Amino acid sequence: MKKNIQYIFGVLLLTALAIFIFKLSDSQEENLEYVHRNLLIDSTQSPELHKKYGFSINDFFVIDSKIKRNESISDILNNYNVSQAVINEIANKSRSVFDVRRFRTGNKYTILFDKDDISKAEYFIYENNKTEYVVFDIHNHENIYKGEKLVIWKEKTIAGDINSSLWLALKETGASPLLAVDLADVYAWTIDFFGIGKGDKFMVCYKQAFVEDKPINKIEIVAANFVHSGHSNYSFSYCEDKKDGYFDEEGNSLQKTFLKAPLKYSRISSRFSNRRFHPVLKRYRAHHGIDYAAPTGTPVLAIGDGLVVKKGYQRRGGGRYVKIKHNSVYTTTYMHFSRFGKGIRPGVRVKQGQVIGYVGASGLATGPHLDFRVFKNGKAINPLSLKAPSVAPVKKENMKEFMSRVDLYKSRLDLYSMPAITDSSAIEEKTDAKAIN
C-alpha cells in the first residue's frame, strides 16, 4: 500500500509539474517536449556527458527550439517571464558582441532555467552557425559572449570509378559531393574536369570536420591520386612558410599563380559590390568586378595562361570585352577596351602577362577604365580575394619531411587503388580530437 501511495504521489507531482510548464509557455508545445526530455535525464550519469555551450546541462532545465520566421528575441523571451525592460537591456548590451536583429530563421536556440525555479530563465543561447554560438546572461547583462563548439576532424580515405560524373561517383562512396569542388581546385591547373569521363578513377585521403558527431561543410584534402586518361596525378598537401599548397610526389607545385592586377599603372575606382550606384544608369545595381581607372590606351594583361572563349562588343554594357578560361575552375573577363590586342580572338591561347587589349571607355562608361571580373566555378567572386597559393617547389631543407609525408599517404592511396579495395566505400582512418578554436 505504501509503495502504491508513493507511486500515485509521484504521478501527481509530475502531472502538476507538466501543467505548470505548459502554463509557462502554452504557445510552444514543442518546447514542452524538450523540457520533459531534460527533466528525465538520469542524474547518476556523469555531468561531462551533458556538457553543452560550456554548461553542465544536468544543472538546468533546458528548452531547445529554432528561430521562426520574423521571430525576435522579444517574441521568444516574453514567453518565459522575461520583462521587456530586461530584453531591451540585453539587446543594447550585446551590440558589440552580436546584433540580436540578425537572427536567422531556422537557427537553433537554447534557454537554460534555474533547476530550483523553472519559471526563472538564466541564459539564452543562440547558434549563429554550425560552430559559433552567443551566450546571453539574462541576469548579468554585461556577461554576453561568443563561444565555439568543439570541432572534431576525422580523416577518411575513399576510392571510386567514374562512370558518368565525378559528383555521382563521390555520392556512391558516401562522401560529401562538396569534395568534387575541392578536387577541382587541387587539380585546376593539371586536369580539365569538364573532360573527365568513364575509365577515370580517384583515390582521396581527406579530413572532414564534425560537430556533435554531425558532419559540417569543412573539408580538407590531405592527399589524392586522380587517374585521368590512364595517367596517375598525385597530389599532397603541405604547408611551407605559412602557405598551404599541393605538390606532386617530387615536390613540384600543382598550382600556378595569377598576376595581382591585369594592368601595371592604375588605381581602383570602384570595388566589388552587390549594390553600387551606376554612374550612367543612375540607379543601384550589382557590380561584380573591380574598376581600374587608367588612361586610354593603357595595355591590359591576361592575369594567367588560358584560352580566349569570347570576344565581342556590348553597346549597353561592357563595350569591347574579352573572356578567358584559365582552367576548369577560373575564368576572367576584361571590359571597356578601346581596342583589342593583336591576334586576340576566340580559340587563341594566351600567356600570363600577354597584352589582350587596351583601356578605353566603350559601352556604358563615363571615362576610360577597365572593368575586371573573376569567376570561380561560374560564380563571380571578388578579384581582390583571390588567394595566392605556394607555387614554388618544396624547399630543399623541407624535402625530407615532405617525402616522409608522401611515403605515408602514397602507400595508402596505392592500397585503395587495388581492385579489391575500390568498391566505392568510404573508410574512416583517423580522428583528430583537437578543436579548431
CATH number where 233 lies: 3.10.450.350
Pair (277, 194) in one structural domain: no
Residue 437 lies inside a defined structural domain of this protein: no
pLDDT digits (tens, 9 = 90+) for 121-178: 999 999 999 999 999 999 998 899 999 999 999 999 999 999 888 888 888 888 887 8
Determine the pLDDT at residue 430.
Answer: 57
Other residues' Cβ atoms within 10 Å of the Cβ of residue 130: 18
Pair (365, 235) in one structural domain: no
Percent of the chain with pLDDT over 70: 78
Pair (160, 143) in one structural domain: no
Of 117, 148, 179, the position where a domain reaches its end is: 148
Determine the pLDDT at residue 285.
Answer: 56
Asked if 205 and 223 count as a contact pair (C-beta separation under 8 A), the reply is yes
Of 148, 167, 201, the position where a domain reaches its end is: 148
pLDDT digits (tens, 9 = 90+) for 10-39: 545 555 555 444 444 444 434 433 333 333
Pair (27, 81) in one structural domain: yes
pLDDT-based confidence at residue 48 (cuts at 50, 70, 90)? very low
Asked if 336 and 290 count as a contact pair (C-beta separation under 8 A), the reply is no
- For the chain, the residue count is 437
Pair (362, 325) in one structural domain: yes
Spatial CA neighbour of 222 closest among 394, 388, 429, 415: 429
Pair (7, 97) in one structural domain: yes
Give the separation between CA 207 and CA 409, rounded to whole angstroms.
13
Asked if 371 and 384 count as a contact pair (C-beta separation under 8 A), the reply is no
Asked if 287 and 276 count as a contact pair (C-beta separation under 8 A), the reply is yes
Pair (175, 221) in one structural domain: yes
Q: Where is mean pLDDT largest: 105-109, 260-264, 363-367?
A: 105-109
pLDDT digits (tens, 9 = 90+) for 197-237: 888 999 999 999 999 888 888 899 999 999 998 899 999 99
3-class SS shares of the chain: helix, strand, coil, % to 5:
25, 35, 40
Spatial CA neighbour of 78 closest among 32, 121, 137, 19: 121
pLDDT digits (tens, 9 = 90+) for 327-340: 888 999 999 999 99
Residue 253 lies inside a defined structural domain of this protein: yes
Number of domains in the chain: 3
User: Which domain does 289 fall in, by range?
Assistant: 267-385
Q: Which residues contact 395 (CB under 8 A, 6 or more apart)?
A: 240
Residue 262 lies inside a defined structural domain of this protein: no
Spatial CA neighbour of 319 closest among 380, 261, 369: 369
User: How many angstroms separate the Cα of 183 from the Cα of each of 250, 263, 364?
Assistant: 20, 31, 38
Of 123, 148, 173, the position where a domain reaches its end is: 148
Quote the cell numbers at residue 415: 592500397
Q: How many CA atoms lie within 13 Å of 310's alpha carbon, on the beta-carbon side?
A: 15
Pair (280, 186) in one structural domain: no
Residue 91 lies inside a defined structural domain of this protein: yes
Pair (249, 306) in one structural domain: no
Pair (197, 249) in one structural domain: yes
Pair (143, 7) in one structural domain: yes
Determine the pLDDT at residue 283.
Answer: 55
